[in-house]
Chains A and B, each alone.
Chain A
Amino acid sequence: MNAASAPSKLYSDDVSLIVVLLDANPFFWASSAAAAGDSASSHHPTTTLPFSKLLNHVIPLLNSLLLLNQLNQVVLVATGVNSCGYIYDSGDGGGGSGCGSVPAICSEILRRLEEFVVKDRLQGKGPDKVVATGVSSLLSGSLSLALGFSDPELDIHSLGQILCLQGSPDGPEQYVAVMNAIFSAQRSMIPIDSCVMGVQHSAFLQQASYITGGVYLKPQQLDGLFQYLSAVFATDLQSRNFLQLPKPAGVDFRASCFCHKKTIDMGYVCSVCLSIFCKHHKKCSTCGSDFSQGPTDANASTDRKRKTSEVQP
């Protein structure tokens, strides 16, 4: 009963609608740029790269996706710290005069990204300031936007595909929202691919890719990022059946507790509503159930007895 692998659709053609979620978290990219500066002197391969260099890899990817099939549609969504926003939609037509020239598209994307980052920062300085710990970006928001956009009911001719380019660490407070988005993608059979550029693996994206049947990749060397992106993520869903794509290197199934939004690998689960808590409470804060007895290990009383027979012949 694992929650795994979405059933694969049969594809009549390989036209894709690809929504790329680009992490535009200035906190992460600033630290990344600083680290890149430090390691420039040493001879280690680069494991970090500044945002401007990242765009040098991402914009060619968008262009090559469009070149692969003239009917492909690419949408770029920026994931900020305080907000998320649409940056570019190749299906829009109006702005870039349909088959707009590559440099025009490129400068358009850069301009809108810049606007977005400025606006995102201004929102943080609004009435409720972002705490210094708010270094995670709003993955739940951009995933929800991307799914709303690729809702299969709206456009049955193209197949949705979501690619997350994520650097920032997970925000445990988004756990429920991210999981809701993942299950919705699974139901709509939209695979979520993820390319993680941060220091740690992302548990959210590992689960997202595992459950929706997408590819999860954490590149070893970021200076060759375009190679990874074009070789792994630019393939359409039909071609994937014939390719040897990277196998998941384990999936982190840790959950977030409802009480402190901490990521935990062991905890207490309310038997009525299944809320997760990191320590024993007297009362469930979600459903109000009263836990008068002490903590229990499920089945602790019976397990010794029923070890022996699995299935009787």
Chain B
Amino acid sequence: MSGSVEVQRRFDLAGMGEEATRRRRRGGEEDDEEEEDEDERGMEAWERAYADERSWEDLQEDESGLLRPIDTKTLVHAQYRRRLLQKSAASAASRIQKGLIRYLYLVVDLSRAASETDYRPSRMVAVAKCAEAFIREFFDQNPLSHIGLVTIKDGVAHRLTDIGGSPESQIKALMGKLECSGDASLQNALELIHGYLSQIPSYGHREVLILYSARNTCDPGDIMETIKNCKNAKIRCSVIGLSAEIFICKHLCEETGGSYTVALDESHFKELLLEHAPPPPAIAEYAAANLIKMGFPQRGAEGVIAICSCHKDVKIGGGYTCPRCKARVCELPAECRICGLTLVSSPHLARSYHHLFPVTPFNEVSSVVPFKLSQKLAQTCYGCQQSLLSHGSKPAPHVSCPKCNQRFCLDCDIYIHESLHNCPGCESHRSSTT
């Protein structure tokens, strides 16, 4: 038995694609690396076909040493349950405390170093492409947050866009400004952003994320002083480097509580960047909790003509009406130009509510329930109405909701907890809805 496991492991190493190699490299097992690469190059075409398909992975040894196909469904379900239980334990321990209102300046280095072509077609273009994905993901995960763009080139920092809540205008501004020249100045960028971020309301989380291509910084004064200022202003600075680890970046991130990472290649860079999209754990002292007055405007009918207050222009259809002063705005979230009320789209807030009211994990129903008993209970899944009896009359593994006692098949269990976030059984009985 142990022999076959060993064989499988060796095949694994040989068949590992680029991605897996990279993952290992990050894991720190650098000594394995060369050997692997050699292995892969030395493979014959017929060997590679087997290595790619990895058909042996579909087999599993049972207690008596016989090979059997893996029951993937139960396996997937077991993995999912472990995740679910971990999650519910974690959320029970600490009540939801996440800094959901973030004010983030994204700094794009457009110095000479950004024209290098180790990323295809150039660092600058690769960074812009990933930044676009990041901005969309950021707004999806942080519905009430704001992003602003700053570029560094020719030794100066330049604010490309005002901090705001609309992904489209940010992306458009970034794509229109892709030229690089001169040196990078970390200090100028930080000074500029420090000025802007000190104006934002106290409940917001101030963050800077720097995508740094250069290997040096060309500053007018003492950058240590600037870093101290950022620290005092509670601005969390993170850097993703594209070339090599630089001391000053590391120092900046350590001082301000951010994270410093260096990308190996484009896909790694994207991975690192997207890690910044989910809200970081809120640190109580960083932002005071607050109640913010907000309006939930109605969307106007299609084809209705109205003058919007944001562009002061005639617009046909769409648009939202401020519930307090009835002024018309084109996009949400926004701030009413007339009365100053923060206008948000309520579905945007509602997207995160399943974190607040998660569905309780279902209990596994053991399949060894006495036959008489199991026959009395429902034999179809309450979600999909499929039969829970697999072969003959032996019930397949299934789960039941501890609140409404309805039974569900494993597919529905995953669907309910990962996508629907409602228990169909609990929801369809008035007494148990809250």
Task: For the complex, give the distance between the alpha carbons of A128 and B433 in Å.
Answer: 12
Task: Point out the residues of chain B lying under 8 angstroms from A277, CB to CB.
Answer: 291
Scoring B residues 291 to 308 as 1 if CB is less than 8 Å from chain A, else 0, what string do you get?
111111111111100000
Scoring A residues 229 to 259 as 1 if CB is less than 8 Å from chain B, else 0, what string do you get?
0000000000000000001111111110000
Within the complex, the shortest CB–CB distance from A194 to chain B, in Å, comes to: 16
Q: Which of B143, B300, B383 has the most CB of A within 10 A?
A: B383
| Residues of chain A from 134 to 164 with CB closer than 8 A to chain B in the complex | 134, 138, 140-142, 144-145, 147-149, 151, 153-154
Tell me which of B22-30, B45-53, B345-353 binds A: B345-353
Task: Point out the residues of chain A lying under 8 angstroms from B119, CB to CB.
Answer: none
Within the complex, the shortest CB–CB distance from A128 to chain B, in Å, comes to: 5
Please pick, from A266, A274, A301, the residue contacting B324 in the complex, using a CB distance under 8 A: A266
Within the complex, the shortest CB–CB distance from A46 to chain B, in Å, comes to: 25
Contact A140 B433 (CB under 8 A): yes
Tell me which of A33-41, A78-86, A98-106 binds B: A78-86
Contact B293 A268 (CB under 8 A): yes
Assuming the contacts A274-B352, A298-B293, A298-B335, asked whether A89 and B385 have C-beta atoms less than 8 A apart, the reply is: yes
Task: Point out the residues of chain B lying under 8 angstroms from A84, CB to CB.
Answer: 427-428
**B341: interface (CB < 8 Å):** yes
Contact B296 A265 (CB under 8 A): yes
**A224: interface (CB < 8 Å):** no
Task: For the complex, give the distance between the alpha carbons of A177 and B167 in Å.
Answer: 28
Contact B347 A272 (CB under 8 A): no
Task: Point out the residues of chain A lying under 8 angstroms from B337, CB to CB.
Answer: 307
Contact B415 A280 (CB under 8 A): no
Task: Point out the residues of chain B lying under 8 angstroms from A71, CB to CB.
Answer: none
Contact B428 A145 (CB under 8 A): yes
Report the nearest A residue to B299, measured CB to CB: A251
Scoring A residues 87 to 112 as 1 if CB is less than 8 Å from chain B, else 0, what string do you get?
00100000000000000000000000
**B363: interface (CB < 8 Å):** no
Task: For the complex, give the distance between the alpha carbons of A7 and B416 in Å.
Answer: 22
Within the complex, the shortest CB–CB distance from A240 to chain B, in Å, comes to: 16
Report the nearest B residue to A210, measured CB to CB: B299
| Residues of chain B from 69 to 114 with CB closer than 8 A to chain A in the complex | 95-101
Contact A253 B299 (CB under 8 A): yes
Contact B428 A312 (CB under 8 A): no
Within the complex, the shortest CB–CB distance from A217 to chain B, in Å, comes to: 13
Task: Point out the residues of chain A lying under 8 angstroms from B168, CB to CB.
Answer: 1
Contact A272 B96 (CB under 8 A): yes
Assuming the contacts A148-B415, A298-B335, asked whether A141 and B200 have C-beta atoms less than 8 A apart, the reply is: no
User: Number of A residues whose C-beta is below 8 Å from B?
Assistant: 95
Q: How large is the interface on B (under 10, 10 to 19, 20 to 34, 35 or more residues)?
A: 35 or more
Contact A288 B95 (CB under 8 A): yes
Assuming the contacts A83-B428, A181-B420, asked whether A271 and B290 have C-beta atoms less than 8 A apart, the reply is: yes
Contact A1 B165 (CB under 8 A): yes
Within the complex, the shortest CB–CB distance from A275 to chain B, in Å, comes to: 7
Within the complex, the shortest CB–CB distance from A125 to chain B, in Å, comes to: 12
Within the complex, the shortest CB–CB distance from B56 to chain A, in Å, comes to: 27
Assuming the contacts A210-B299, A297-B340, asked whether A141 and B428 have C-beta atoms less than 8 A apart, the reply is: yes
| Residues of chain B from 276 to 296 with CB closer than 8 A to chain A in the complex | 282, 287-296
Contact A302 B298 (CB under 8 A): no
| Residues of chain A from 270 to 292 with CB closer than 8 A to chain B in the complex | 270-277, 280-281, 284, 286-292
Within the complex, the shortest CB–CB distance from B19 to chain A, in Å, comes to: 25
**B181: interface (CB < 8 Å):** no
Additional A-B contact list (20), CB under 8 Å, known A267-B293, A292-B288: A1-B166, A148-B415, A149-B385, A153-B411, A173-B433, A174-B427, A250-B301, A268-B294, A271-B101, A271-B287, A271-B290, A274-B144, A280-B291, A286-B96, A287-B96, A296-B290, A297-B292, A299-B340, A303-B335, A305-B199
